[in-house]
């Protein structure tokens, strides 16, 4: 593009973006007037009921004498408490990703024979088309691995002769394939970018059929293919905790909305990926890591509670860091007293921090987790409790595993593809109508009535 063309386009967009802003603004008072819940949640965090699901349940309140009383958060996968599930496979020194994938897809925990067969099916499904890495992933590599992943998913549709077949057996085949190859697409996409854009060595490590998903992610990512059992176990738990979180989270709801239109699996998952990549959803853990690094660089003594508390107040008041007024990793749309995923994660994070000589960093995170709710309660008018969410610790874990920032959100996708697949299948089983919520148009209606009166 010539400089003259660019100047012409820039001039137009600068002028007309202001026009867009003027004509797109809606008076916030109208949301209350028309009873619209912005973000589909009221000030107490209660959501609009948009559907039913048997896949998972999120509990943040107990019913006592007809009143809703906030409680410690609970997350149930197919009726099993996530805390019990993690304790089960962690106690038995097993990896949980494959077992919990079976649970979420099929509704029950597998026995040993079923689990072994399912692992074999995932291995058989883990195949990319010939030359796909060279012709798709290596060409036009992107620093945004989520975009690279989405491109790869949409391109895979070109290799599928049954793309429009939405029968359950075909969709299940497609979902199992995507679940099994997501780690390859993400890690290879990162290596391609790192090679062509950063002049780093380029290497492709094939996954090992005898290793778990978490083990293979670390094997494919690292130049020497080496990792410890503790590292792989903590990553495995991170994947399990991110696999599913109800039908109402943004990317899963996107999955169900697009599925309800009758679209194909590749388009559905590409839409979910596009939703997940936003910093308000899957990218939040990156902001936590950046925020903590900013605190460490500006607070003279990170062990001094008063200094840290003062800096958190400045963050909240938009004086420092990214000046958006958010303490990242704190608060959740549903949970108030606690996010069970963060509570589970914290113990394993502490073990990894001690192993990686990052005890002082862990203590800073724990201090922020304790102080941030106090700061928020003092500086903000809040309608529900504030506690650390799963993103607060996940970025810290990934940094200790030497996982690059570019792969933080893709790691979320490697896990959440399981939940998306389960919800897509459930939506197809119960397919009835396309999901189409209503929107009011108060200003247009008002102008129309005025015109009619004239």
Q: How confident is the model at residue 61 (pLDDT cuts 50, 70, 90)?
A: confident
pLDDT of 453 strictly over 80: no
Place of tokens 């099994």: 180
What is the structure's pLDDT at 264? 98
CATH architecture of 284-400: Orthogonal Bundle (1.10)
What is the structure's pLDDT at 450? 59
For the segment 388-410, the average pLDDT, to the nearest whole number, is 93
For the segment 206-226, the average pLDDT, to the nearest whole number, is 97
For the segment 125-133, the average pLDDT, to the nearest whole number, is 96
For the chain, how big is the Rg over CA atoms in Å?
A: 23
What is the structure's pLDDT at 118? 96
Asked if 47 contacts 248 with a C-beta cutoff of 8 angstroms, the reply is: yes
pTM for the structure as a whole? 0.92
SS3 262: coil
Q: How confident is the model at residue 46 (pLDDT cuts 50, 70, 90)?
A: low
CA neighbor of 243 nearest in space, from 79, 107, 98: 98
**Of 194 and 159, more confident:** 159
Q: Decide whether 75-278+405-429 matches 284-400 in CATH topology.
A: no
What is the structure's pLDDT at 321? 96
What is the structure's pLDDT at 91? 76
Q: How confident is the model at residue 301 (pLDDT cuts 50, 70, 90)?
A: very high
Tell whether domain 75-278+405-429 is in CATH 1.10.580.10: yes
What is the structure's pLDDT at 438? 83
SS3 60: strand
Mean pLDDT across the chain? 91
Q: How many helices (H) does the chain have, and how many strands (E)?
A: 19, 3
Provide the phi-psi class of 321: left if phi over 0, else alpha when psi is between -120 and 50, else beta: left
pLDDT of 333 strictly over 60: yes
Domain boundaries along the sequence of the chain: 75-278+405-429, 284-400
Q: How confident is the model at residue 41 (pLDDT cuts 50, 70, 90)?
A: low
CA separation for the pair 202, 216 (Å, rounded): 18
For the segment 315-341, the average pLDDT, to the nearest whole number, is 90
Helix (H) or strand (E) holding 73: strand 67-77
Q: Among all residues, which ones are annotated catalytic?
A: 332, 391
CA separation for the pair 324, 272 (Å, rounded): 26
Asked if 154 contacts 267 with a C-beta cutoff of 8 angstroms, the reply is: yes
**Of 32 and 446, more confident:** 32
For the segment 429-438, the average pLDDT, to the nearest whole number, is 88
Asked if 293 contacts 287 with a C-beta cutoff of 8 angstroms, the reply is: no
CA separation for the pair 454, 451 (Å, rounded): 5
What is the structure's pLDDT at 449? 60
Strands 56-64 and 67-77: antiparallel
CA separation for the pair 37, 73 (Å, rounded): 23
In this predicted model, what pLDDT tens digit does every residue of 349-390 receive, in sequence order? 999 999 999 999 999 999 999 999 999 988 887 666 788 998
Least confident of 17-21, 266-270, 309-313, 418-422: 17-21
Structure-block tokens of residue 136:
């798709």
What is the structure's pLDDT at 432? 80
């Amino acid at each position: 593009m010539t400089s003259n063309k660019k100047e012409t386009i820039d001039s137009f967009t600068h002028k007309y973006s202001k026009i867009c802003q003027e004509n797109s603004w809606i008076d916030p008072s109208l949301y209350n007037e028309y009873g619209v819940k912005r973000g589909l949640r009221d000030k107490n965090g209660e959501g609009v009921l948009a559907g039913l699901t048997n896949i998972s349940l999120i509990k943040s309140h107990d019913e006592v004498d007809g009143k809703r009383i906030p409680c410690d958060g609970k997350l149930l996968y197919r009726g099993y408490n996530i805390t019990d599930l993690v304790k089960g496979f962690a106690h038995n020194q097993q990896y949980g990703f494959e077992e919990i994938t079976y649970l979420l897809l099929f509704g029950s925990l597998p026995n040993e024979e079923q689990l072994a067969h399912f692992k074999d099916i995932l291995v058989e499904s883990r195949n990319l088309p010939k030359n796909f890495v060279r012709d798709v992933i290596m060409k036009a590599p992107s620093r945004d691995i989520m975009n690279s992943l989405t491109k790869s998913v949409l391109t895979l549709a070109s290799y599928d002769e049954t793309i429009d077949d939405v029968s359950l057996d075909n969709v299940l085949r497609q979902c199992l394939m995507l679940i099994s190859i997501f780690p390859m697409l993400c890690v290879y996409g990162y290596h391609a970018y790192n090679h062509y854009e950063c002049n780093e060595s380029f290497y492709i490590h094939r996954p090992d059929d005898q290793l778990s998903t978490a083990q293979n992610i670390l094997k494919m990512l690292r130049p020497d293919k080496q990792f410890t059992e503790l590292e792989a176990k903590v990553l495995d738990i991170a994947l399990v905790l991110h696999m599913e979180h109800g039908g109402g989270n943004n990317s899963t709801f996107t999955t169900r909305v697009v599925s309800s239109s009758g679209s194909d699996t590749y388009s559905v998952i590409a839409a979910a990926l596009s939703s997940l990549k936003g910093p308000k959803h899957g990218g939040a853990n990156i902001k936590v890591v950046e925020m903590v690094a900013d605190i460490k660089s500006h607070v003279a003594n990170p062990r001094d509670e008063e200094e840290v508390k003062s800096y958190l107040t400045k963050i909240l008041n938009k004086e420092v860091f990214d000046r958006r007024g958010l303490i990242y990793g704190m608060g959740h749309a549903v949970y108030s007293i606690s996010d069970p995923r963060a509570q589970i994660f914290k113990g394993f994070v502490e073990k990894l921090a001690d192993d990686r000589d990052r005890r002082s960093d862990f203590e800073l995170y724990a201090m922020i987790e304790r102080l941030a709710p106090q700061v928020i309660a003092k500086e903000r008018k809040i309608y529900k409790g504030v506690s650390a969410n799963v993103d607060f610790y996940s970025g810290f874990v990934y940094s200790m595993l030497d996982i690059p920032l570019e792969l933080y959100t893709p790691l979320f996708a490697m896990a959440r593809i399981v939940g998306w697949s389960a919800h897509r299948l459930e939506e197809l089983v119960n397919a009835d109508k396309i999901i189409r919520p209503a929107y009011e148009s108060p200003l247009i209606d008002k102008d129309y009535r005025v015109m009619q009166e004239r």
